[in-house]
Structures are given as structure tokens and as C-alpha cells.
A and B are shown apart, each in its own frame.
Chain A
Amino acid sequence: KAGVTQTPRYLIKTRGQQVTLSCSPISGHRSVSWYQQTPGQGLQFLFEYFSETQRNKGNFPGRFSGRQFSNSRSEMNVSTLELGDSALYLCASSRDFSSGANVLTFGAGSRLTVL
């Protein structure tokens, strides 16, 4: 079966612009979560969605937002880009969000470079 698909894979933006990243989860998975990975901070949780509702949000400024659609696809948006937003943005999907035994499947990520 198809894995988690993230688009675009690479993109370059300039400071002040905004960006939208897309994630298509595995068929049948209703939970999508987003993570930011940087060399300095490692992997950090951004948000988590289930059935179009945001269930949890990480410690990021309001410039970072997301949403989930009825088909479970998700998008995240970063407005007023800063140099420090340069990172690999990873999306993960799972069948649900709240079971401790639940396994996440990650996409390959979207590499954002802010100049």
C-alpha cells in the first residue's frame, strides 16, 4: 500500500513569505501529526489532528498552523517565514491518535530553506 506522501519535497522561500506543506496519509489512517527537525533542536512535535480536529499542539508560535480535511489529508502553513524556520518538516499518520500502542508511519519530509 502507498505510504505517507508529502509535497513538495524541497522548497526555497525568502524571509517574510509564507509556505504551505501538504501531507497525504496512508489510506484508512485518520490521525496526522507534524514534526519539525533541525540540527540544533532535533525532532519537535508541531501538531496532531484526528477527524479534522486539532488534538494537541506543540510549543511553536502562532505563525505555524495546520488543518485536516475530511479525507484525512492535512496541510500545515507557516506565515512570515524566518531564517530559523529552515528545517525538515515531517508528517506522520496512524489509525488513531490516543492508543499507546499506536504506530506512526512517517513520510520522507519536506525540506524548507528560508533565505
Chain B
Amino acid sequence: DAKTTQPNSMESNEEEPVHLPCNHSTISGTDYIHWYRQLPSQGPEYVIHGLTSNVNNRMASLAIAEDRKSSTLILHRATLRDAAVYYCILRDGIPGNTGKLIFGQGTTLQVKP
């Protein structure tokens, strides 16, 4: 299973953009890049995913490097509610293979008012 590397923690000020990096140098051509976050006392929550192109949704943007060996989750304006542990996960895209998620330690994001 391909692995991801994330910083243990990051800090941001409220209403400022946040860039959360993720390295995945052993990514295969069929791996999707997924981001989930876990707020205190809750289960993980889907944020965004992509394969090769940059992606935007109402929660965040995902910027994927051209060689796909790294990606960045972008929160455009951090709020206090965005304080959470953010997980970058590679998901095997070969049909018939397992759908399990392999979670690393994630990045704990602290948002200061």
C-alpha cells in the first residue's frame, strides 16, 4: 500500500488561507488522492479527492503536482470550525481491489481567532 507523509501539526489564523501538504512519492498511476478530516469527538469526514487534475468543491481545493508525488489541500478561509486532524490517503483505483482506507497520523490543524 502506498504511503503518505504529512506534517504532524500546523497553525493558521482565522479567515486566512491554509495550505496542507502531503507527500506520496510511491503513488501508482491508478491511486486516487483522498482527503478526510476528523473534528473532535466525531468520525472522519470526506473533504475532497482527485486523480490527476486540480479539484475544487465547496469545502476546499486540491492541488496535485504534475508528477503526482505530492498534493496540497487548500482551505481558502480558515474558520474555527476547520480545526481538525486532516488525513491524506491514497485509494487504490483498480476495479476489484480493496476499498479500504489506510490512515496515517494526519496533520492536526489549529486555527487561532
Contacts and interface: CB of A to CB of B under 8 A. Distances in A.
Contacts of A100: 30-32, 51, 91-94
A55 B106 CA distance: 26
A11 interface: no
Interface in B80-113: 87, 91-106
A103 interface: yes
B43 A109 contact: yes
B99 A101 contact: no
A70 interface: no
A48 B100 contact: yes
Contacts of A109: 43
Given A42-B105, A90-B43, A109-B43, A101 B49 contact: yes
Contacts of A85: none
Contacts, number: 77
Nearest to B41: A108
B46 to A, nearest CB: 5
Interface stretch (A12-20, A60-68, A75-83, A91-99): A91-99
Contacts of B31: 100
A107 interface: yes
A48 B99 contact: yes
A53 interface: no
- Listed from nearest, the 6 A-B pairs whose CB atoms lie closest are A100-B93, A106-B43, A43-B103, A97-B99, A100-B32, A56-B98
Given A98-B96, A101-B51, 16 more contacts: A31-B99, A42-B103, A42-B106, A45-B100, A55-B98, A56-B98, A56-B100, A92-B101, A94-B99, A96-B99, A98-B94, A98-B98, A100-B92, A101-B32, A104-B36, A105-B46
Interface of A: 4, 31, 33, 35, 42-45, 48, 55-56, 58, 90, 92, 94, 96-109
Interface of B: 30-32, 34, 36, 42-46, 49, 51, 87, 91-106
